[in-house]
Structure 1
């Protein structure tokens, strides 16, 4: 078997709020509870296991490869929620979508400052 990412843990001050935010904006099924986690499952079998953390949350970056239709749907949900978004991870190009590598991409923030990204083409084209 080749090496594959199976899951990663997302620390959150409010586990349920963060899991719900992720599933709603990304258009994913509700995240079931598994032990201390809410499991946000994405299409390739990788999960983001959201865990409550009462300490200081260190923001992380989570990038999602999506199709053109999913991009439009997620972008529309971001706009409908009046969430700020950027064409770059440093928040220098507000309200814009990038066209890096011949695709489209954008960044927005999740609760606790995690930076989320959607792209339609993997880096390097």
Structure 2
């Protein structure tokens, strides 16, 4: 058996609001509940298990590999909602996307300050940035 990521836990101030953010922006299936988690399933079998945090969540980074068409759809939803986005993880290039590895990518924050990223090419898969 190969080693595969099965799930990760995302801490949130409001797990239902955070799950809705991921589902709506990324175009994912409706979340389910399992124990204390609201579970958002992504297409490669990995789940985002969102749990309420009883303090302020420590921001993490989550990157999603998407197709060119999915990028267009997600990017349109980000702009429609007026969500700030950046071309870089340090948020120094606002209102821009990047073209790393010959693809496209951008960053934005979820309601809890987690740094989210969509990319159309995996890192190291193509020509320069």
Distance 1:99 1:68 in 2: 12
1:70-89 to structure 2, matched below 5 A, reads: 70-89=70-89
Rounded to whole Å, the distance in 2 between the matches of 1:47 and 1:22 is 12
Task: Encode CA deviations 1:48-94: one digit per residue, 9 max, x unaligned.
Answer: 00000112210000000000000000000000000000000000000
Q: Does 1:34 align with 2:34?
A: yes
Residue number in structure 1 paired with 2:2: 2
For structure 1, which runs of at least 5 residues remain unmatched after alignment?
A: none
The Cα offsets for residues 18-76 of structure 1, whole Å up to 9 and x where unpaired, read as: 00001000011111111110111000000000000112210000000000000000000
What is the alpha-carbon distance in structure 2 between the residues aligned to residue 7 and residue 40 of structure 1? 10
So what's the TM-score if we normalise by structure 1? 0.99
Aligned length: 125
Map 1:46-85 onto structure 2 (within 5 A). Answer: 46-85=46-85
Q: Which runs of 4+ in 1 moved over 2 A?
A: none
- Aligned-residue offset at 1:111: 1.0
Counterpart residue number, 2:98: 98
* Aligned-residue CA RMSD (Å): 0.5
How far has the Cα of 1:112 moved from its partner? 1.0
Query: How far did residue 104 of structure 1 move?
Result: 0.2
Q: Secondary structure of 1:39's match? A: strand
